[in-house]
């Protein structure tokens, strides 16, 4: 470690005085002892400071390593135990003459008339900013629908609300459909009404303008049945699609497709 200016000055004075004293006498002068003692004290102080600095740097290194380890563990824990938000269908808003909720059955989309479902939920505290989201919906058919047919659904909009800013619109789509905004998908009716099917809606973690979703954001989403579309071939009084449950999860592959 470098000496400070006082140490250098004392060293120079000690050498100068030593030369003068030794040239005038044969024995050490008391000044030499005093300067030597002070120089030794300063040297010891510098060594102590160097030891304290080394100890502090070592402690800082341990703290940084511990912080990095905690971050890695948090990320691993997040991957192992991803969040889940349950979306109760009994609290969903139903629009159109063809949509209704039946206890112990679920939300029903009939073939007669327009049927649209609106849901909302809040992103949890452990949501990682900008993570893509998937909505999982379980469904089946009416027990009296016996003919093979297809149901047609249209993903009809997703948005996020956050205090202090404008609504954030998101490019929702059914899993497997490359086109956002009114993404359409066909779902073959199961062979039996007790056979539960699943459909997935992908919602990106960022808006078209680049704004990322954050924990605490309120998300709203809706989809509807399009019985008038030629792809929807389930017709008649029993041509009913029954939705049993819905939940939101992080899409860990991050593809948004």
Residues in the chain: 257
Could you give the percent of the chain with pLDDT greater than 90? 53
Determine contact, residues 204/132, Cβ cutoff 8 Å: yes
**What pLDDT is recorded for position 11?**
55
Residue 112 pairs in a beta bridge with none
Say whether pTM exceeds 0.85.
no
Structure confidence at residue 61 as a pLDDT band (50, 70, 90): confident
d(CA 209, CA 232): 34
Q: What is the dihedral of CA 186, 191, 195, 197, to 10 degrees?
A: -10
Determine contact, residues 158/183, Cβ cutoff 8 Å: no
For 168-197, b where at least 16 C-beta lie within 10 A, e where not — what string? bebbbbbbebeebeebbbebebeeebeeeb
**What pLDDT is recorded for position 75?**
65
Domain ranges of the chain: 5-79, 83-250
Mean per-residue pLDDT for 20-29?
A: 52
Quickly tell me which residue has 């909009």 as its tokens: 157
Contacts with 47 (C-beta within 8 Å, 6 or more apart), sequence order: 1
CA atoms lying within 13 Å on the CB side of residue 149: 22
Task: At 67, list the tokens.
Answer: 């912080």
Q: What is the dihedral of CA 219, 225, 229, 231, to 10 degrees?
A: 100
pLDDT per position as a tens digit, 95-104: 999 999 988 8
Structure confidence at residue 256 as a pLDDT band (50, 70, 90): very low
d(CA 1, CA 182): 71
Mean per-residue pLDDT for 239-244?
A: 96
User: In 45-182, which ranges are E strands?
Assistant: 85-86, 93-95, 99-102, 106-109, 115-122, 133-141, 150-161, 168-170, 173-174
Task: At 130, list the tokens.
Answer: 């900008």
Question: CATH homologous superfamily for 83-250?
Answer: Galactose-binding domain-like (2.60.120.260)
Determine contact, residues 51/68, Cβ cutoff 8 Å: no
Out of 26-35, 178-187, 202-211, 232-241, the most confident range is: 232-241
User: In the chain, which ranges are E strands?
Assistant: 85-86, 93-95, 99-102, 106-109, 115-122, 133-141, 150-161, 168-170, 173-174, 183-188, 197-203, 218-225, 241-250
**What pLDDT is recorded for position 1?**
46
pLDDT per position as a tens digit, 180-209: 888 999 999 999 989 999 999 999 999 877
- How far lies 76's CA from each of 71, 155, 231, in Å? 9, 33, 43
d(CA 38, CA 25): 23
pLDDT per position as a tens digit, 145-178: 999 999 999 999 999 999 998 899 999 999 988 7
pLDDT at 77 over 70: no
**What pLDDT is recorded for position 5?**
54
**What pLDDT is recorded for position 249?**
96
């Amino acid at each position: 470690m470098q000496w400070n200016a006082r140490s250098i000055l004392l060293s120079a004075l000690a050498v100068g005085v030593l030369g003068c004293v030794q040239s005038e006498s044969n024995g050490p002068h008391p000044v030499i002892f005093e300067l030597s003692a002070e120089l030794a004290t300063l040297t010891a102080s510098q060594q102590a400071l160097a030891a304290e600095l080394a100890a502090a740097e070592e402690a800082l290194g341990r703290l940084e390593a511990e912080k990095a380890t905690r971050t890695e563990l948090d990320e691993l824990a997040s991957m192992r135990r991803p969040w889940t938000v349950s979306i109760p269908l009994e609290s969903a808003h139903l629009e159109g003459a063809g949509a209704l909720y039946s206890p112990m059955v679920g939300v029903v989309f009939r073939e007669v008339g327009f049927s649209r479902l609106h849901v909302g939920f809040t992103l949890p505290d452990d949501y990682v900013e900008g993570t893509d989201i998937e909505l999982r919906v379980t469904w089946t058919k009416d027990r009296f629908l016996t003919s093979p047919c297809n149901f047609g659904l249209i993903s009809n909009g997703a948005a996020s609300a956050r205090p202090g800013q404008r609504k954030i619109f998101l490019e929702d789509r059914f899993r497997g459909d490359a086109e956002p905004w009114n993404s359409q998908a066909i779902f073959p009716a199961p062979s039996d009404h007790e056979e539960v099917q699943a459909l997935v809606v992908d919602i990106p973690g960022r808006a078209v303008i680049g704004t990322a979703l954050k924990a605490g954001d309120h998300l709203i989403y809706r989809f509807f049945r399009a019985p008038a579309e030629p792809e929807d071939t389930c017709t008649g009084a029993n041509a009913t699609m029954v939705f049993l449950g819905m939940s939101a999860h992080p899409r860990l592959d991050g593809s948004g497709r």
